[in-house]
Structure 1
Amino acid sequence: MAATILDVARLAKVSAGTVSRVLHKHPGVSDENRERVLDAIKTLDYSPRQRKASMCDLNPLEDKNVLLLLLGMDPSLANLPVVTAAIDGIEQSLINLNANLLIANLPTLDQFPEEFDRKRIDGVILKGALQGDLAGQVNPELVKRVQELPAVWVLGRPEGMTGDVVQVDDVRVGKLAAEHLISCGHRHLAFLSPKPSQVSIQRRQASFTFYAQQAGATVNSYLGNEQDWTFPSPAVDHCEWVDDLVERLLNTHPRPTAMFTPDDSTGTTVARTLSARNLKAGEDISLMSCNNEQKILEKIQPSLTTIDVHAADIGCRAVDQLAWRIAHPAQPNVDISYEPTLVTGSSVATLDHCAIA
């Protein structure tokens, strides 16, 4: 069977949109990605002309209507940089593949998107709140319609929902955080999150705790109350949501010398809460977070050590997975985890420079 644009994208480890830009000599491609695409094209002996009579096989999303569904999210959550970056990746990839994007935002879960009645929908990409029982509260008719279509979740799949998912490798996130703090000399660690049962956060917590303890460190967890969170789910951007947790941490003996918060909105909120107590991250206690949301992080000093989850790339990859799902409707659900990377700042000190209470 002749190679397709999706085969080239998989081998080159880029999105199908990037392959399309290389084929059309678009200037907005890095030299490194261009070389990888050209090498993959050569290896696979790929040529768009060899399947000219079957464009739907080359690009299953050609002229298709794709609905992006945002479920159960407060505007503060839907507008987080990590979410908007993933949406930007989705939008750009669909443009490059000549598909049509429709967006429906359903903060309350009893709603049904009118887009299903106004347009033929060929596939769905979903981003839902990962805290709470979304599967038990979402409109049953919406669940039925989504299950009838090719569907891909992006940045996590809520408990109880089905479909492919392209998400962060949360186990790797926890491992990176534990290894970095331990490499800086910390042995008394903390994990802090006001959202106790958010799916992605639970995985990060479990991984962080496991790898820290494997290395001989102790980990204290400071978690909020489940009943504090309802739909639409908000971002953690108010100090009162972490104030009690920070107070408990600071009153622990011996006090942890470093803490990991599982997302940048929580991390920056904790940094502000520490500052209100005349404490400074990187001096009085070390602090790191995750997502690499620069629009949030740029407001905090010292610069926060974080983990880049490459949200825009995850959005692009979700589009590629939707194209694959359209071409392979009978295959089992596929879970794809994207590799995160460490971004060091000034908020994690070596133990020699970290004040210990």
Structure 2
Amino acid sequence: LDGIEKACVANNTNLIIKQATNWDALNHSLDNNKGYGVILFGSDEPTGAPPEVLRKAPAVWVMGSPERFRGDHVQPDHSRIGLIAADYLLTAGHRHIAYLGSSEGNPRFHVGFRASAFKWAVLHAGGQVEMLTSSNLIIADSEHNSPDEAVAAELIARLAAQKPRPTALMIEADMLAPITYRLLQTHAIAPQRDIAVITCNNEQPYLLSLNPRPIVIDLQAMSIGQRAVDQLLWRRNHMQDPAMRIMIEPSLLLP
């Protein structure tokens, strides 16, 4: 959102922020705020078909995994995130590596392509990968977006029980990092000493309390927001051109 706001200021464009939990609410917001276009920000689409206005007005979806939306989509390159993480850990000498997350990739869960690419890269290099995944790992509803502690505890217990134990762990997203650190320590496993940890997104509120700091893959949220505004402004004059899927290159941040 910060990148979207900064890009709007740079382009002398007003930004009106509205929360809409369904397509009807979006229609109502658009009826009351006629503008040059729409930037949609969210993980999942509402149920039902997107409103016709999104076919007639410039529209860009940011992040998430939209299925029925037919406009432009700007997101991180999730596969590159997995490849960068695998390359770093393999180069550091790790050959038995674990992945903690929700699931591998599919059209409804683009973040999972991090897992798919990570698994492929480790196996392709001759390594061994343990996929500690559960579709119930994240509680995501109208009131929550946080790890399920019981599910996380079960997955980390599986890691701790392995003999030999993986020497490195990739975490799907930073929101899982604090609970992962705590659960590892309950099994007398010290992060970054007994097991190398790499996490993704670079969301500082989740990382500030972690000691020692994990390796982080920055998904470049600022650039994603700025690129969404650039794409919206471009789309205003190119409504007949095919929709675009734009992926932003992530970067590796060492502690």
Query: What TM-score do you get using the length of structure 2 for normalisation?
Result: 0.89
For 2:248 and 2:179, how far apart are their aligned partners in 1? 26
Match of 1:45 in 2: none
- Does residue 202 (structure 1) correspond to residue 115 (structure 2)? The answer is no
For 1:192 and 1:300, how far apart are their aligned partners in 2? 17
| The structure with more radius of gyration | 1
- Does residue 94 (structure 1) correspond to residue 8 (structure 2)? The answer is yes
Which amino acid letter does the alignment assign opposite residue 288 of structure 1? I
For 1:312 and 1:320, how far apart are their aligned partners in 2? 13
Which residue of 65, 76, 92 corresponds with 1:184? 92
SS in 2 for 1:160: coil
SS in 2 for 1:244: helix
Please report how far the alpha carbon of residue 230 of structure 1 lies from its aligned counterpart in structure 2 after TM superposition.
5.2
- CA RMSD, 1 decimal: 2.3
Match of 2:130 in 1: 220
Please report how far the alpha carbon of residue 196 of structure 1 lies from its aligned counterpart in structure 2 after TM superposition.
6.0
For 1:287 and 1:158, how far apart are their aligned partners in 2? 30
Higher normalized helix content (fraction of residues): 1
Deviates more, 1:254-263 or 1:226-235: 226-235
Match of 1:56 in 2: none
- Does residue 159 (structure 1) correspond to residue 72 (structure 2)? The answer is no
For 2:219 and 2:17, how far apart are their aligned partners in 1? 23
Please report how far the alpha carbon of residue 229 of structure 1 lies from its aligned counterpart in structure 2 after TM superposition.
5.0
> 2:85–2:170: 8 Å Cα contact kept in structure 1?
yes
> 1:236–1:269: 8 Å Cα contact kept in structure 2?
no
Match of 1:112 in 2: 25
Following TM superposition, where does structure 1 have runs of at least 4 consecutive aligned residues deviating by more than 4 angstroms? 195-198, 226-230
For 1:307 and 1:221, how far apart are their aligned partners in 2? 19
For 1:184 and 1:227, how far apart are their aligned partners in 2? 28
> 1:308–1:343: 8 Å Cα contact kept in structure 2?
yes
Distance 1:339 1:204, change over 3 A: same
Aligned residues with identical type, % of pairs: 33
Q: Which one scores higher on RCO, CA 8 angstroms, separation ≥ 6?
A: 2
Deviates more, 1:311-320 or 1:108-117: 108-117
Which residue of 66, 78, 101 corresponds with 1:193? 101
Gaps of 5+ in 2: none
Which amino acid letter does the alignment assign opposite residue 94 of structure 2? H
- Does residue 274 (structure 1) correspond to residue 214 (structure 2)? The answer is no
> 2:104–2:116: 8 Å Cα contact kept in structure 1?
no
> 1:192–1:260: 8 Å Cα contact kept in structure 2?
yes
Gaps of 5+ in 1: 1-86, 346-357
